[in-house]
Structure 1
Amino acid sequence: MSLQTPMSPSRPISSRTFNLPSSSSSDTDGDDDPNNLPFPTALPRTDFLSPSFDAASYLSSLSDRHQTLEDLRQDLRDRSAAISTELLELVNANYTSFLSLGSELKGGEERVEDVRVGLLGFQRVIEEVKGRVGDRGREIQGLNTNLGGVRREIETGRRMLELSDRLELLEIRLALDGAEIDSDESEEDEDEDDSQIVGSSATKLAALAKNYTTIQALADDIGRDTPYVKKLTERITKCRTTILLDLGTTTKAAKKAGASGQEKLLKLMAIYATLDAQKEAIKALKGA
């Protein structure tokens, strides 16, 4: 049976009664007697203690309860007030116990002191470990820095050796300081299209210019201010001067050759650009 509310405001209904329909007008005394209606039992307190308690679901489950909605509300309000009273009494009782807790605690000072001393000792050990770890970290950092310096020095040494080898090879190919050029190499450097023109072949001059620019790049990587590079600067400059002299002579010869020397002349201009010697190229062309 669903929850019922008063049907008519002109006829008040008892908060604990229902109006049940009768089959005849003669049955009046028994139907109007509220003592004949079933009185609802009190709501179990355990119903509200469920972890999954849901108010809407719980109210829906009370559809068969013989009680008006207003009585149900009043019952819930009474129960809420009773719970609030119990909670207040519980808080007051525990609060009194809490206030007396400090006076009831006695002894234990020695145990507390032992724990404090142990914690202080543990703290000192941690500080010592942290100090050793920090020292070890700084030591490793210093070793890494030294290792980086050693690696840079090794790389610099390798570039110095390469610079020396390339410079020596370039001097040999330029026949500086009485060095002799291998005859087979000279023949391989000759170009078929400019064999009739006086001077070195464009292929040979391009290879010499490329070797020179590689030497210049190595000197820049090592550092122009290092004593080793300063010591080799004169030799490097002499190689450049020799290449430009040979290039100038060949340029003049190619220009004099006329149409047959135009292709070689273009190759020689590219070699001037490789050596970053545009001014020398203009002088060579004007002086031809």
Structure 2
Amino acid sequence: MSLQTPMSPSRPNSSRRFNLPSSSSSDTDGDDDPNNLPFPTALPRSDFLSPSFDAASYLSSLSERHQTLEDLRQDLRDRSAAISTELLELVNANYTGGEERVEDVRVGLLGFRRAIEEVKGRVGDRGREIQGLSTELGGVRGEIETGRRMLELNDRLELLEGRLALDGAEVDSDESEDDEDEEENQIVGSSATKLAALAKDYTTIDAMADDIGRDTSYVKKLAERIAKCRATILLDVGTTIKAAKKAGPSGQEKLIKLMAVCSTLDAQKEAIKALKGA
């Protein structure tokens, strides 16, 4: 804030004496009359603004000033009062400006807070969107995995059907790869080793159908083919059990292996029935 130079302080009327020139007074007499001295100018404001201002030195420099001591005192008092007024106005102005700045800062903080809330809201919306996409992606991955298991189930079922000759192909009767001894090979019927492998393949297919879900339309379509594979294996096991029982003591070892195959297929009842019917 710029400070303005105040008006020259007023002085008592008794100090302001001006004599009009008179025709009866000589020029010499007028120069000697103290009342004819010029009225002193106001004390310069710049004198008080000097960084090296010293009151005693400054008062000493006013000895040549054509002014009474009382007028000088009044001038200094007026100058002090004016400075005090300006200081008060400056303080008030700064105080008012401070309130305005505080209000500006408060408004700015409120705006910043609103901006943060908006950003948090957008982040929350984005997070929920990402969560939804992640859930959807998980579902898609699950469907892909389910589809892969369905394809594997179909492949395994077709392979088992081929080994059981359910697809019209001839069954390979070469049992040279079996670990059964020569005496067991003389018994009529399939080898116990082969039947055990078929039973194991079936249980794998059955477990995969359970994993995918028996209620799914795909598994329901395969249910009849799966059941036919089990029935075919059990039929072959039953025929071989009868043959092993008729073989007497030489068929006991194979009979035990065939009972294990029935256990794998959870077909104990069918095994007992085959034994009784032998």
The two structures have a TM-score, normalised by structure 1, of 0.61
The list of structure 1 runs, each at least 4 consecutive aligned residues, that deviate by more than 4 angstroms after superposition, is none
Q: Which SS does the other structure have where 2:189 is aligned?
A: coil
Q: For residue 140 of structure 2, what is the aligned residue in structure 1?
A: 150
Matches within 5 A, 1:135-146: 135-146=125-136
| CA-CA distance at 1:191 after TM superposition | 2.6
1:261 equivalent in alignment to 2:215: no
C-alpha separation between the residues in 2 aligned to 1:227 and 1:190?
Answer: 41
Q: Which SS does the other structure have where 1:176 is aligned?
A: coil
Q: Which SS does the other structure have where 2:228 is aligned?
A: helix
Q: For residue 129 of structure 1, what is the aligned residue in structure 2?
A: 119
C-alpha separation between the residues in 1 aligned to 2:117 and 2:158?
Answer: 61
Q: For residue 278 of structure 1, what is the aligned residue in structure 2?
A: 268
Q: For residue 105 of structure 2, what is the aligned residue in structure 1?
A: 115
The AA in structure 2 aligned to 1:188 is E
- Given the alignment, which residue of 219, 223, 229 partners 1:233? 223
1:188 equivalent in alignment to 2:163: no
Q: What runs of 5+ residues in structure 2 fail to find an aligned partner?
A: 1-93
C-alpha separation between the residues in 2 aligned to 1:132 and 1:199?
Answer: 74
C-alpha separation between the residues in 2 aligned to 1:187 and 1:195?
Answer: 10
C-alpha separation between the residues in 2 aligned to 1:229 and 1:177?
Answer: 19
C-alpha separation between the residues in 2 aligned to 1:191 and 1:168?
Answer: 27
The AA in structure 1 aligned to 2:270 is E
The AA in structure 2 aligned to 1:125 is A
C-alpha separation between the residues in 1 aligned to 2:244 and 2:266?
Answer: 20
Q: Give the count of matched residue pairs.
A: 184
| CA-CA distance at 1:134 after TM superposition | 0.5
Contact in 2 for aligned 1:171/1:179 (Cα 8 Å): no
Going from structure 1 to structure 2, the CA distance change for 1:225 and 1:275 (only over 3 Å counts) comes to same
Larger Rg, first or second structure (1 or 2): 2
| CA-CA distance at 1:281 after TM superposition | 0.8
The AA in structure 1 aligned to 2:238 is G
| CA-CA distance at 1:139 after TM superposition | 1.2
| CA-CA distance at 1:176 after TM superposition | 0.8
Contact in 2 for aligned 1:166/1:215 (Cα 8 Å): yes
| CA-CA distance at 1:111 after TM superposition | 1.1
| C-alpha RMSD over aligned residues | 1.8
| CA-CA distance at 1:188 after TM superposition | 2.5
The AA in structure 2 aligned to 1:263 is E
Q: What runs of 5+ residues in structure 1 fail to find an aligned partner?
A: 1-104
C-alpha separation between the residues in 2 aligned to 1:176 and 1:140?
Answer: 50
C-alpha separation between the residues in 2 aligned to 1:247 and 1:190?
Answer: 18
The two structures have a TM-score, normalised by structure 2, of 0.63
- Given the alignment, which residue of 205, 208, 224 partners 1:215? 205
